[in-house]
Amino acid sequence: MPKNILTRGRNRALTRHHKIALAGVATLGAAAVAFSAVPSNASAKTTTEAAAAPAQVAFSTEQIKDVRASVNGQVAGASLQAEIAAKKAAAEAAAKKKAAAEAAKKAAEAAKQKAAAEAAKKAEQERKAKEAASRAAERAKLKKAAAKKSYPNNLDGWIRESLDVMKKHDIPGSYNGIKRNILRESSGNPNAINNWDINAINGVPSKGLLQVIPPTFKAYHVPGTSWNIYDPVANITAACNYAADRYGSMDNVNSAY
């Protein structure tokens, strides 16, 4: 009984200071137990290395996946851009080639059309030149035909045609002088021939409208007329040419000459 009384007499409430002290003692005790648990052969170095070992860093697999996906996306994007650029370049090259081919085709067509136009123009010029030459030839022909007078086949016509020929060759003579001598020599007969005068006796009878002997006709023949001594125009012009040389003109002849 006294024991219990003693115990109760010493049981007092712990102060704050007492609680702190007790906590410190407990801490020291725990530390001592921890040191006593370390093996005796363990060195301080091991402890130090263990304490100095860096803490392991934990990486998330989701982050790695995101990085890989980003890299793959960038590579794929670059490849796609390169493919697009290549396609664009190929399309531009094809467009340029097509444009060049179309330009060459247009140039060839233009050259062909130009050549055809020039050929047509040349052909037209040649056609016009031929037509002009043909018209000129036709005009010359008509002019020549118009210039050539038509003479009646009688004494009047023969004298007038002879006068035109004589005019071209500057042989003098008049209508009246020619007609007067014709009527005296042959009475206007172009086939008249003298078989009784001295010329006939000598074998060269006088012939034609103005009774010209063959040697005289041949010597005084006028170009552009017939070589037939009986031709009226040829006979008159040759006789007038002789008379102009011998007497100055047929107008000056009033008898046999």
For residues 174-182, average pLDDT = 97
- What is the pLDDT at residue 2? 43
Q: What is the pLDDT of residues 222-237, one digit of tens each?
A: 999 999 999 999 999 9
What's the rounded mean pLDDT across residues 75-86? 83
- The pTM of this model reads 0.46
If one compares 210 and 50, the residue with the highest pLDDT of the two is 210
pLDDT at residue 165 in the model: 97
For residue 140, the model assigns a pLDDT of 82
- What average pLDDT does the structure give for the chain? 79
C-beta of residue 174 within 8 angstroms of C-beta of residue 195? no
Residue 102 pLDDT greater than 50, yes or no: yes
40: pLDDT strictly greater than 80? no
pLDDT of the residue at 52: 43
pLDDT reading at 7 higher than 80:
no
- pLDDT of 4: 42
Q: What are phi and psi of 153, to 5 degrees?
A: -85, 70
- In whole angstroms, give the CA distance from residue 132 to residue 140: 12
Unique residue bearing structure tokens 């100095």: 52
pLDDT score, position 135: 86
Can you read off the two tokens belonging to residue 90?
């190929």
In DSSP terms, 193 is beta-bridged to 207
pLDDT at 41: 46
What's the pLDDT score for residue 3?
44
Q: How far, in Å, are 156, 174, 175, 209, 214 from residue 181 at the CA level?
A: 14, 11, 10, 9, 18
What is the mean pLDDT of the segment spanning 55-75?
Answer: 59
pLDDT in tens, 135-161: 888 888 767 766 667 999 999 999 999
- Closest Cα partner for 166 from 238, 248, 251? 238
Q: Which residue has the higher pLDDT, 148 or 47?
A: 148
Q: What percentage of the chain reaches a pLDDT higher than 70? A: 69
Confidence at residue 257, expressed as pLDDT on a 0 to 100 scale: 82
Are the beta carbons of 152 and 228 closer than 8 angstroms? no
